[in-house]
Amino acid sequence: MPGAVGRPGWRTFDSCLGRARRSAGVRAPGGRIRNRRSHACRTLWREAREEQSGVNKHKPWIETSYHGVITENNDTVILDPPLVALDKDAPVPFAGEICAFKIHGQELPFEAVVLNKTSGEGRLRAKSPIDCELQKEYTFIIQAYDCGAGPRETAWKKSHKAVVHIQVKDVNEFAPTFKEPAYKAVVTEGKIYDSILQVEAVDEDCSPQYSQICNYEIVTTDVPFAIDRNGNIRNTEKLSYDKQHQYEILVTAYDCGQKPAAQDTLVQVDVKPVCKPGWQDWTKRIEYQPGSGSVPLFPSIHLETCDGAVSSIQITIELHTNYIGKGCDRETYSEKSLQKLCGASSGIIDLLPSPSAATNWTAGLLVDSSEMIFKFDGRQGAKIPDGIVPKNLTDQFTITMWMKHGPSPGVRAEKETILCNSDKTEMNRHHYALYVHNCRLVFLLRKDFDQADTFRPAEFHWKLDQICDKEWHYYVINVEFPVVTLYMDGATYEPYLVTNDWPIHPSHIAMQLTVGACWQGGEVTKPRFAQFFHGSLASLTIRPGKMESQKVISCLQACKEGLDINSLESLGQGIKYHFNPSQSILVMEGDDIGNINHALQKVSYINSRQFPTAGVRRLKVSSKVQCFGEDVCISIPDMDTYVMVLQAIEPQITLRGTDRFWRPAAQFESARGVILFPDIRIVSTLAKAEAPGDLKTTAPKSAVLEEMLHNLDFCDILVLGGDLDPRQECLELNHSELHQRHLDATNSTAGYSIYGVGSMSRYEQVLRHIRYRNWHSASLEARRFRIKCSELNGRYTSNEFTLEVSVLHEVRVSDKEHVNHLIVQPPFLQSVHHPESRSSIQRSSVVPSIATVVIIISVCMLVFVVAMGVHRVRIAHQHFTEEAEAAKEAEMDWDDSALTITVNPMEKHEAPGRGEDDTEEEEEEEEEEEGDEDISSSSSDSDDSEDQEEERMGRGRRGQSGARQAQLEWDDSALPY
């Protein structure tokens, strides 16, 4: 056999076969060579086959089984043992060589290749990427084939079948994912749980190493929870509902390859309180927008009884406003204004007014949060000047005050004087006094001997807890001697103790009235204050000669804010309720829990002030429960909340009108004088933000001015440039104008002050009647006045409106001047843009010629037409009846006694009815012009005033005398316009 390879027959055959393949390159079916040399080759093949018959005697040999490993996404299979085929025919060519390994199976992703035919080494590899997640293992059959008996690849022998088992090695390519995106659990407070809930994550990798979750971890820090390797979450400490209602924690997972989860999961743990009786679903803070009316406090509240058997329940809602103003959000108007608003009788004397030039005795006192509230620290007192309060109060009078007082300092409490009338010198007698002693209110009243020489009641004592509770209360002492009645917060209290005493001996010693302490004028080396008051006082007044009614007292202490019930009809049956007089306390009672819940949902807060004081209003809700039979009643904890009153939008008060004008000297010197503010206007606006129309735009919001109406409480007219000289000038106002509008005023050389609560229109009407007189106006060049108005005692003030008035000096025309000079305007009229009055033209007594008369008539007609046009424009803007009345006064005329007047000779032919016809014609023209559009004027305010004044002078002169009018009027009725 070894020598067979080199035999000539095989070499000849190989050469023939090679040439045949190269020349034809085609093998016919059955393996025959089809070309022109095919016959010779077949002959050689037969010879070679015969020559080699009996050489390929053995089958290849391989192992019976193989175990392989392949890493996913790789193509190399590592077999154990290695893939090697052996053949006993070796080293015989072909028969002893391995030509192929064949795999048996369908759609297997593997193939076997021969690396070395002689050695029989082979390799198993993947034809495509292997994915462990699709198939973890493969098993198939493999066989080895030798090369046969010769080069013609015939008579191949195959080995036995071997089993190949391949395992796919996993790669950690997937991260763990949680089965649920979020987990939620509810726990009860105060318990430790072994497992609150279990989270679970999975991994899509195929191997146990990478597909199993080996660890869980809580990502959120500082939470009282822990988690084990199985995903069980537990709490590490007892949870409290009051401390935190809900916990949100993030949890992640790791596979055994330590690859973390792609996304953490959210675990929400709600803490459920242990069933405790109490009110549920209410908010700690309730916001109140000014102007909102009645706002519910607890719209969703309900009572949790924990299945307790409740037979009845009583609820008390308390609104605490003792630190807001005078114990409540009351109007901060002056006491006199409040007295007027409530219809109190006149003659009330305010003993603690706001400091001013006229009321300077309160200037040294401490002010507590408002100019209307005075704080006494036990070291201050105020002397009331003589003449403010009458010496004798008669048998009827009233004392009113707001007082906030706490327990008296010191171990041994001394008298704390509120009001005291004592001897100014020599002696130390107290004629009447109001003081606090050991939380008792005492009123002292000593009668004089000239009234009666008998033992009479002198001291009246009231013992009330409110006197020392450090809260504001309203006190009214009505005296109708010998009966003295105390009203506190509108309720009546009789004295528990009345002490009698002898009258005081008559003397001529002057008396001193004081507030906050008592004046000790005698029995001491140096007169001084004593028995100082510790606390706060406001609106301390005295009304000699009359007592206040219960209605007025209730009005004065009424509060502008309080509790309210939205709908009394909807309370349902079985609900009893009660308000205290100030509506700061509401008590409700019922036997059905559902009805009680519904009734409490109707309770609201209301503040009727237009500009309420911003800040906190505390609320306290307390409950008392009764149970059936001998059942142990539940305890309902108190509910503390508050109302936050938001800041109101502040109004902008604006004064407008003519700020400069001139008047003839005669008007200043007349009996009525000059009206200073005929067209004054008071406007109040609010600036509100307007949202843009397009919601997508980010342009800033624009402010919109919205006009509003509210009251004023004073307007001051100040004289600038020095006080008025009472010898030659003054400001005047008819008292009827004030009384009709329920306002008051004070007049001085420094100005005029109008005060009292009234609407802006009332103040406008009064200001339009202020007159200025100067009966020596020849030396007057100009006078300036300034107005400033206020609301809520200066909380909101207007702009400072300044007016300047001047004397309009006249220019005389000489008799010798030519008549043609008449068409030239006087110098003082050159500043007026629209001359209106024909009577203001100076006329000569010289009789003109026909041409001159025609020229004069034409000029006068032109002036008349212009004047009438301007006059109609002014009339369209004139809304003040007072100005029309003032225009009719005789004092408004020009002082033209020294002027020479040119008489129109054509007036002799004037028809008797010319005045009425002309008036009708003017009225028709005015009606036609009113239908047209209004003509806007560009003249200044001062020009308007001068034009109006000239028109009034012309009308006044025509109205004085018909004869004089006939002489001064041109007969232009027949002339064309």
Cα 713 to Cα 204: distance, rounded to the nearest angstrom: 83
Last residue of a domain, one of 116, 148, 169: 169
pLDDT in tens, 868-904: 766 655 554 444 344 434 433 433 333 443 343 444 4
Domain that holds residue 373: 335-557
Residues 84 and 121: beta-carbon distance below 8 Å: yes
Cα–Cα distances in angstroms (integers) from residue 551 to residues 77, 331, 487, in the given order:
109, 18, 12
Which stretch of 34-48, 147-161, 844-858, 895-909 has the lowest confidence by average pLDDT?
895-909
The answer to whether residues 198 and 156 belong to one domain is no
Mean pLDDT over each residue of the chain, to the nearest integer: 77
Cα 635 to Cα 694: distance, rounded to the nearest angstrom: 55
The answer to whether residues 671 and 524 belong to one domain is no
pLDDT higher for 820 or 292? Answer: 292
Mean pLDDT of 169-193: 89
> How high is the pLDDT of residue 129?
83
Examine residue 393 and state whether it is found in any structural domain, yes or no.
yes
**Tokens representing residue 427 in the block:** 């002696």
The answer to whether residues 283 and 401 belong to one domain is no
> How high is the pLDDT of residue 587?
94
Residue 554's contacts (CB-CB under 8 Å, 6 or more residues apart) are: 490, 581
Q: Environment class of residue 845 by beta-carbon count within 10 Å: exposed (0-12), middle (13-18) or buried (19+)? A: exposed
* Beta-carbon count within 10 A of 441 CB: 24
**Signed CA dihedral, 533, 538, 544, 549: sign only:** negative
Examine residue 481 and state whether it is found in any structural domain, yes or no.
yes
pLDDT in tens, 443-498: 998 876 665 567 788 899 999 999 998 888 899 999 988 899 999 988 899 998 98
* pLDDT score of 818 more than 60: no
Cα 39 to Cα 19: distance, rounded to the nearest angstrom: 13
The answer to whether residues 542 and 624 belong to one domain is no
Q: What is the pTM of this model?
A: 0.54
* pLDDT score of 299 more than 90: yes
Cα 889 to Cα 625: distance, rounded to the nearest angstrom: 80
For 533, list phi and psi in degrees, rounded to 5.
-95, 140
Residues 955 and 887: beta-carbon distance below 8 Å: yes
The answer to whether residues 748 and 766 belong to one domain is yes
DSSP three-state, residue 831 = coil
The answer to whether residues 427 and 541 belong to one domain is yes
Residue 654 binned pLDDT confidence (cut-offs 50, 70, 90):
very high
Cα–Cα distances in angstroms (integers) from residue 871 to residues 306, 679, 892, 949, in the given order:
84, 16, 18, 11
> What is the residue-wise DSSP string for 422-434?
EESSB---EEEEE
- Peptide bond preceding 81 in cis form (omega within 30 of 0): yes
DSSP three-state, residue 617 = strand
The answer to whether residues 760 and 662 belong to one domain is yes
**Signed CA dihedral, 458, 463, 467, 473: sign only:** negative
pLDDT higher for 945 or 287? Answer: 287
Cα–Cα distances in angstroms (integers) from residue 841 to residues 151, 428, 896, in the given order:
149, 78, 11
Cα 185 to Cα 249: distance, rounded to the nearest angstrom: 12
Residue 130 binned pLDDT confidence (cut-offs 50, 70, 90):
confident
The answer to whether residues 538 and 604 belong to one domain is no
The answer to whether residues 304 and 342 belong to one domain is no
Query: CATH no. for residue 623?
Result: 2.60.40.680
Examine residue 106 and state whether it is found in any structural domain, yes or no.
yes
Q: Give the containing element (helix H, strand E) for 362.
A: none
> How high is the pLDDT of residue 132?
83
Cα 767 to Cα 787: distance, rounded to the nearest angstrom: 9
> How high is the pLDDT of residue 881?
42
> How high is the pLDDT of residue 976?
37
**Signed CA dihedral, 103, 106, 111, 114: sign only:** positive
* pLDDT score of 104 more than 70: yes
Examine residue 849 and state whether it is found in any structural domain, yes or no.
no
Examine residue 471 and state whether it is found in any structural domain, yes or no.
yes
> How high is the pLDDT of residue 526?
81
Which stretch of 328-337, 785-794, 942-951 has the lowest confidence by average pLDDT?
942-951
> How high is the pLDDT of residue 630?
62
> How high is the pLDDT of residue 879?
40
**Signed CA dihedral, 861, 863, 864, 868: sign only:** positive
The answer to whether residues 511 and 572 belong to one domain is no
Last residue of a domain, one of 766, 792, 808: 808
| Residues above pLDDT 90, as percent of the chain | 29
Mean pLDDT of 556-578: 82
Mean pLDDT of 88-108: 83
> How high is the pLDDT of residue 318?
94
pLDDT in tens, 916-975: 444 344 444 444 444 443 433 333 343 444 444 444 444 444 444 333 333 333 344 333
The answer to whether residues 398 and 364 belong to one domain is yes
- Peptide bond preceding 506 in cis form (omega within 30 of 0): no
pLDDT higher for 946 or 232? Answer: 232
pLDDT higher for 544 or 778? Answer: 544
